[in-house]
Amino acid sequence: MRGPCQAGSGAPMTPPPASPPAFPSAPASPAAATASSAPAFDAERALALAVRTFEIEARAVQGLALQLGGDERAGFAAAVRAILECGGRVVVMGMGKSGHVGRKIAATLASTGTPAFFVHPAEASHGDLGMVLAGDIVLALSNSGESDELAAILPAIRRLGARLIAMTGSAESTLARHAEIVLAAAVAEEACPLNLAPTASTMAQMALGDALAVALLDARGFREVDFARSHPGGSLGRKLLMHVRDLMRSGEAVPRVPPAAPFNELLREMTGKGLGFAAVVDEALRPLGIFTDGDLRRLIERSAGDLRHLARLSAAEVMHGGPRLVRDDALAVDAAGVMEQHRVTSVLVVDADGRLVGALNSNDLMRAKVI
């Protein structure tokens, strides 16, 4: 009889080698799976979709214009009037893509004369609603008008004493029913081929927000200088807010000598201050003339190599009268205009009484990015 571990030859049976443990194979990455299932890129289709997107979004914005010329005329005017009469701020709210648009609308309003900021509706439910005060206006954005996060805080907004303006694509929505004023932002279709991703609807919201901001800034008499005050770091801010006194050299940095100063003293003052000129002033510090490095070159040329007599000259004898002057309270951009008009690189700065108080050259203007 053969034992259970014996082969037919009587030799002990050798057990088969152990198999390595089986691990589940890693699933293909989503990107790889998508790449393998996605159709090949079609440039013509991509271009056609781009054109279709432009056309759909243009129709969405044009639709807003038609609405404002008809049924929605009163609602838009009421919204503008309410914001103008508001003693508080405009608090913009929105979820998802509407929230991103809302941030931009708040920024545009704030930079054009209407105090505004953005509050996230979900955060508002957890304390940020404390930013909203009685007298504020809440501008709430939602295409469907059924955002849960917004719906949850609508009663609280009214209890706080804030007015509610809704910007929505559904006039029958929860948001619209709670609002005092409704801005209709409905679109016929999204540009997304699936008609799902917010595209035309967010474009309509953005355009309607811009229309509000433009109507408000016009009604407030908002001017370039007002815009510059809220944009001091921009090029317009530098041009409209920066004055000559902000950039000029002053005090001992201004090269100046009296009319009787010897030529050598004039040269030392001009070269020592590094501005390429020296002002000649009377006892009351009123400019009488100016001597520049260009004047020096021309003087040397006329001397035909004999420079000994120059030491005997005075500042009054070598200066030229009628120096270009600007007031210290003038805009820096106006000083740049004087330099360009008269083809000079430096001007003398005087106060309201005509006394020399500073000097300005083109390098100062370039460092400040005025030119």
Q: What is the pLDDT of residue 36?
A: 56
Integer Cα distance of 266 and 250 in angstroms: 18
In terms of domains, do 57 and 201 share one? yes
CA 151 to chain centre: 32
Domain with residue 139: its CATH number is 3.40.50.10490
Q: What is the pLDDT of residue 3?
A: 47
State which H helix or E strand residue 166 sits in. strand 163-168
In terms of domains, do 288 and 335 share one? yes
| Residue 27 belongs to some domain of the structure | no
Mean pLDDT of the 101-115 span: 96
Average pLDDT, the chain: 88
DSSP of 227-289 = HHHT-TTSHHHHHHH-BHHHH-B-GGGS-EE-TT-BHHHHHHHHHHHTSSEEEEE-TT--EEE
In terms of domains, do 312 and 360 share one? yes
The terminus-to-terminus CA distance of the chain in angstroms comes to: 110
| Residue 42 belongs to some domain of the structure | no
Please list, in sequence order, all residues whose beta carbon lies within 8 angstroms of the beta carbon of residue 44, skipping any fewer than 6 positions away: none
In terms of domains, do 289 and 144 share one? no
Higher-confidence residue of 68 and 205: namely 205
Is residue 314 within 8 Å of 261, Cβ to Cβ? Answer: yes
Neighbours of 216 (CB within 10 A): 21
Please list, in sequence order, all residues whose beta carbon lies within 8 angstroms of the beta carbon of residue 73, skipping any fewer than 6 positions away: none
Integer Cα distance of 200 and 198 in angstroms: 6
How many domains does the chain fold into? 2
Asked if pLDDT for residue 98 goes beyond 90, the answer is yes
Residue 314's domain comprises 244-367
- From the number of C-beta atoms within 10 Å of its C-beta (0-12, 13-18, 19+), residue 165 rates as buried
| Residue 97 belongs to some domain of the structure | yes
| Residue 108 belongs to some domain of the structure | yes
Q: What is the pLDDT of residue 230?
A: 76
Q: What is the pLDDT of residue 34?
A: 53
Least confident of 14-18, 87-91, 126-130: 14-18
Domain with residue 288: its CATH number is 3.10.580.10
The pTM assigned to this predicted structure is 0.68
| 315: amino acid identity, one letter | A
Percent of the chain with pLDDT over 90: 70
| Nearest Cα to Cα of residue 128 among 143, 118, 113, 116 | 118
